[in-house]
Structure 1
Amino acid sequence: MLTRNINPIDKLICQADSALRTIFGNPPLSGRPYPAEDCSEAELSDQEKKHTAGLMRVNHSGEVSAQGLYQGQALTAKLPNVRLKMEQAAVEENDHLVWCEQRLNDLDARKSLLNPVWYTGSFLIGATAGMSGGVSGFRLFCGAAGA
């Protein structure tokens, strides 16, 4: 059986790919169906549509930030089980990211222009949590994600 050792450059390339997919679209999905697939669209006034789009944009930015936390901690986690849990959480949470984007599209609304900033800041927080190592790093992550 052929196994490949992943070097730091490989990890960096994979991380850059994940970041770009998170910020600009097409992250991998878990296969769960879109929860609003069979929902009929309510008639919204222009003001309601604008307000709903603003709320969904904030929600989408929160999902982008969550991905930054997961991916940052997964990259620097010292414990393999913590790394695996962060990687699994990122894949599962990609569904929320895509669903929020779908709803923005349904509302003819755009994503936040600040998403690269939110992702980068969250990635740095997650990476710091991972570098602090062990359970304390995981607790730091959980505290940041729950805030």
Structure 2
Amino acid sequence: MTLPPLTLDKAIAVLDMGLRTVFSQAIPSRPYPQAETADDSTLSDSERKHAAALMRINHVGEVCAQALYSGQALVSRDPANVEALKQASREEVDHLAWCERRIGELGGRKSLLNPLWFGASFGLGVTAG
């Protein structure tokens, strides 16, 4: 099996996307879907910390989704498949941004292991692709 050629522009684009996913704030293309009944003032400190930890896990999943899509798109030979993966990745940016925002609202932090999660998921995406 031969892989499609890895051009310098593809490599730079993947590196850029990875760095933006892991180290910068995601910018959504759709409005934040906040429930009208959400009232964080009723949460205890313990509940707030627990909710922030759960959102951190959710955020890691979104980071991994970005990496999986990117890895698969990098090695795919089918242009329609590449475009579908890129579209899915663009849609997932909203989820990434919304998770980041919710983590901030709860006073939490993103995972310090996000670079590791991204790298491992990117490798799985390349392998699966």
**Fold-level similarity (TM above 0.5):** yes
Moved over 4 A (4+): 37-40
1:38-76 deviations in whole A, cap 9, x for unaligned? Answer: 554332101101110110000000110111100111111
In the alignment, residue 48 of structure 1 is paired with which amino acid? E
| SS in structure 1 at match of 2:34 | coil
Match of 2:76 in 1: 77
In the alignment, residue 126 of structure 2 is paired with which amino acid? A
5+ residue gaps, structure 2: 1-5
- RMSD of aligned residue pairs (Cα, Å): 1.6
Match of 1:97 in 2: 96
Aligned residues: 123
1:50 equivalent in alignment to 2:53? no
1:35 to 30, 33, 36: 33
User: Structure 1 stretch 19-28 or stretch 75-84: which is displaced more?
Assistant: 19-28
For the 8 Å contact 1:28–1:91, the answer to whether it is kept is no
| SS in structure 1 at match of 2:32 | coil
Work out the CA distance in 2 between the residues paired with 1:85 and 1:75: 12
Q: Percent identity?
A: 50
For the 8 Å contact 1:65–1:119, the answer to whether it is kept is yes
TM-score, reference length from structure 2: 0.88
Match of 1:18 in 2: 17
5+ residue gaps, structure 1: 1-6, 131-147
Describe the shift of the 1:25–1:129 C-alpha distance in structure 2 as closer, same or farther (beyond 3 A): same
Work out the CA distance in 1 between the residues paired with 2:93 and 2:49: 25
Work out the CA distance in 1 between the residues paired with 2:62 and 2:125: 14
The Cα of 1:128 is off from its aligned counterpart by 1.3
TM-score, reference length from structure 1: 0.78
In the alignment, residue 89 of structure 2 is paired with which amino acid? A
1:2-52 deviations in whole A, cap 9, x for unaligned? Answer: xxxxx71111111111001111124453x2110017554332101101110
Work out the CA distance in 2 between the residues paired with 1:47 and 1:98: 24
